[in-house]
Amino acid sequence: MGRYFIELSYQGTAYHGFQEQENANTVQEELSKALTIFYRANFELTGSSRTDAGVHALQNYFHLDTDIGIDSKHIYNINALLPPDIAVRSIQAVASTAHCRFDAVARSYAYYIYREKNPFMRDRGWFYPYPLDIKSMQEAAELIKGYRDFTSFSKRNTQVHTFNCEIMESRWEEFEGESYKLEGIRNWTREDMGVLVYHVKANRFLRGMVRALVATMVKLGRGQIGLSEFREILEAKDCTKADFSSPPHGLCLERVWFP
């Protein structure tokens, strides 16, 4: 029996997350239906990285085991059966021991904030038309790299053995009045309309972690808390201290890293 990694991209607006749920449409459900129709067989899919309802991905993975010969030449046919907001990008035969979740060594996310009304980012970023102290937010992003326990930035009722994460990258990128290409929206170049992007890469993430980091840093940027208070929230190990109010549609899983 062979094992295959299926790489896909999706706009998460219409879905209740990546992996299958009862009574809710998900990316996994749509891919399962397309595979079943094309191959006339049922498959058990294992997902790499969970994303919440409304969150997007440039790259995410499932793996499956099957005796059926699955080939990259079938990508066109599978994509024809998928909704327009989901696309299979590659199909790769891998070792029988390869695991798309446990073998991943890192994941990177980007969170988009736009500060001038922009209809093209309505469902791809957080519209936040208020002044922000970017320098303070950048200091907080740098501070994050010095910590490992992110209990304060994990939603409650999360079944994990540890809240420790190794942060490899944490920074804000600001575009102001210049032409650029949005990294999270490939092949789309235009005049900037006031966009902030938070880039973060880690060996693992907790449930709601990136959105909580973003929302809490925005409070800092608005002057509602200071850098010392942000540090206290990091060290408190109490999720009631952080802000989880950033909307999901600003978040994009950009890459899953394998050895």
- Catalogue the active-site residues: 52
Residue type, 157: N
DSSP structure string for 33-67: HHHHHHHSS----EESS---TT-EEEEEEEEEEES
Dump the DSSP string for 169-218.
EEEEEEE-SSEEE-TTSTT-EEE--SEEEEEEEES---TTHHHHHHHHHH
Burial call 235-250: b when 16+ CB within 10 Å, e when fewer: eeeebebbbbebbbbb
Measured N-to-C along each axis, helices 209-221 and 227-236 cross at an angle, to the nearest 10 degrees, of: 160
Distance separating alpha carbons of residues 158 and 163, to the nearest angstrom: 10
Instruction: List Cβ neighbours of 49 (8 Å cut-off, separation of 6 or more).
Output: 18, 57, 60, 61, 101, 104, 107, 253, 256
* Maximum separation of any 2 CA atoms in the chain, in Å: 58
Contacts of 135 (CB under 8 A, 6+ apart): none
Report the C-alpha gap between 239 and 149 in whole angstroms. 12
